[in-house]
Amino acid sequence: MTRSGIILAVTLVLSGCAVGPNYKQPSAPTSDAYKEQAGWKIGEPNETVARGAWWEIYGDPVLNDLENQVVLSNQNVKSFEAAYRQARAVVQEARASFLPTITGSGAATRSQRGVSATTGTTAVNIGRPINQFSVSAGGSWDIDVWGRIRRTVESDVASAQASAADLANATLSYQGTLATAYFELRVQDELKYLLDQSVIDYTEALKIARNKYAAGIVSKADVDEAETQLKSTQAQASNAGLQRAQLEHAIAVLIGRPPAALTIAPLRFNVQVPEIPIGVPSTLLERRPDVAAAERRVAAANAQIGVAIAAFFPDLTVSGNYGVASSKLDTLFQTSSRVWSVGPNLAMTLFDAGAHSAEVGRARAAYDQEVATYRQTVLTALSQVEDQLVALTSLASQADLENDAVKAAREAERITFNQYKAGTVDYTSVITAQTAALTNQQAALTVRRSQLAASVSLIQALGGGWTTGQLLSRGDVEHGKPPFPLAPTAASAK
């Protein structure tokens, strides 16, 4: 083997070494079961809630159409997608350091030196102009002996994966916000219907009170009370319309449209709270994009420790240059005009007053910080699931009680109104019964709204059907593969 071959072989062997710790995913605090899971279906490991387009579990075509537009048009989601593309470009830039850098240059100069500028003893060309022509190509190659470049790429890839998970998490967040706003809008539709029906009933009651007053059966106070009840309810109906309009505007922004471009037709509220399988706590590590993002940032910080340690070792660079140079253009490319150089360069810091050691310490502290953030993210995820489990359990009991209260209040209202028409009670009793009936119906509607909001929050807390299988691999990132959307649209799923 030639000397150059031996040098190349040694270089290749050395380049297989990468200083710094190899990554190992840190442990995370989990439990065998949720504290508040009593009465809930425990899903199998391969059974995720509403896998894919999770909102379809509610069976609302209008909601389905709106949700499919979030990935395509929400401007905040687009911002996160652009952030991922930036992170991917950083990876491609870092990978370029694996290969040599090659440059080329050419020059043509004409110069003259006066006699007074001459410091030597040679008198040739003194005071006469001279030409100089040159063409050259040069290259340099950083040999990654200690793995500095590899650790940098490793860190940048993990950061890009974290950015892709951030995109998935943001998409899930805005989809959840849209679903909650949509259900609130439908609650306002139902409230408006309820108030409009009450206005019809109260108008009839006012008519009866006026007839009784005209006949001298009751006092003017009955008419005044009936009018007050009617006007108050009409004002509530108007406010429900205002709330609905504002929610419609918010939904338009969430799907990337100006408010004037979206109109959602009113509908009676008939969405039911779906059954949601919850799985076991440990599955959150694989089903929450924010947890995945935090874990990838731990991996990025771990690789940065290796980058910092590599600074203690010498940098090996091989550089070379080949070209031609001549004072005459017609002899520029002759053999006698060739110039070249090639050789290694070894550079190492001998004294830096502890700067490198401080950088390693900083990198290790940054790693510890990311580990703590990762574990806190897991704890927060567990807490969010527990919160929504207990909320939905409590709200289910409240819903049953409110439904019973509505039935009783409606019956009391009917009986009291018939008694008033028969002249056995005054109108104050009617007002009391009507107010109780309307208040209980509104309370039941509020509980139903809270149930749906909590169900959306639970689906979000469980990851919305996302899994770590959707996280881009290192090869995907390095080859510029775009991130998968959080969930397929209805059109793409067909």
pLDDT tens-digit readout, 74-101 = 999 999 999 999 999 999 999 898 889 8
Query: Which of the pair, 479 or 457, is modelled with greater confidence?
Result: 457
Q: What is the DSSP string of 294-336?
A: HHHHHHHHHHHHHHHHHTTSPEEEEEEEEEEEESSGGGTTSGG
Q: Which of 192, 147, 459 is nearest to 306 (CA)?
A: 147
Residue at token pair 């397929």 = 488
| Interatomic CA distance for residues 318 and 142, integer angstroms | 7
Q: Which of 376, 378, 375, 365 is nearest to 301 (CA)?
A: 365
Bridging pattern class, strands 101-111 and 130-143: antiparallel
Mean pLDDT confidence for 346-356: 89
The answer to whether 178 and 64 have CB atoms below 8 angstroms apart is no
Which residues contact residue 385 at a Cβ distance below 8 angstroms, ignoring those fewer than 6 apart?
34, 278, 281, 284, 458, 461, 462
Q: Copy the structure tokens of residue 282.
A: 């440990």
Q: What b-and-e string marks burial along 87-98, b requiring 16 or more CB atoms within 10 Å of the CB? A: bbebbeebbebe
The answer to whether 71 and 489 have CB atoms below 8 angstroms apart is yes
pLDDT at 420: 86
pLDDT at 43: 53
- How many CB atoms sit inside 10 A of residue 110's CB? 9
First to last CA, the chain: 62
pLDDT at 275: 85
The number of C-alpha atoms within 13 Å of 272 and in the hemisphere containing its C-beta is 4
Residue 325: phi and psi, rounded to 5, are -150, 135
How long, in residues, is the chain? 494
**Max CA pair span of the chain:** 137
> Which amino acid, 228?
T
Least confident of 5-14, 261-270, 287-296, 418-427: 5-14
**8-17 contacts, C-beta under 8 A, 24 or more apart:** 11/143, 11/145, 11/316, 14/143, 14/145, 15/143, 15/144, 15/145, 17/145, 17/146, 17/147
Mean pLDDT confidence for 407-421: 92
pLDDT confidence bin for 3, thresholds 50/70/90 = low
The helix (H) or strand (E) run that includes residue 107 is strand 101-111
Mean pLDDT confidence for 372-391: 94
| Percent of the chain residues topping a pLDDT of 70 | 88
| pTM of the full structure | 0.84
Residue 107: strand pairing partners? 134
Q: Is the pLDDT of residue 47 over 80?
A: no
| Interatomic CA distance for residues 66 and 50, integer angstroms | 17
| Interatomic CA distance for residues 377 and 28, integer angstroms | 9
pLDDT confidence bin for 113, thresholds 50/70/90 = confident
Query: Which of the pair, 133 or 358, is modelled with greater confidence?
Result: 358
| Interatomic CA distance for residues 60 and 366, integer angstroms | 46
pLDDT at 278: 78
Q: What is the DSSP string of 391-407?
A: HHHHHHHHHHHHHHHHH
The number of C-alpha atoms within 13 Å of 284 and in the hemisphere containing its C-beta is 31
Which residues contact residue 37 at a Cβ distance below 8 angstroms, ignoring those fewer than 6 apart?
278, 389
Torsion of CA 206, 212, 218, 224, to 10 degrees: 20
| Interatomic CA distance for residues 90 and 478, integer angstroms | 10
Residue at token pair 């409240």 = 398
Q: Which CATH number fits domain 12-100+144-319+355-493: 3.30.420.40, 3.90.1150.220, 1.20.1600.10, 3.30.1490.100?
A: 1.20.1600.10
Per-residue pLDDT reduced to its tens digit, 189-237: 999 999 999 999 889 888 988 998 888 888 888 889 889 989 999 998 8
pLDDT at 341: 87
Which residues contact residue 410 at a Cβ distance below 8 angstroms, ignoring those fewer than 6 apart?
437, 441
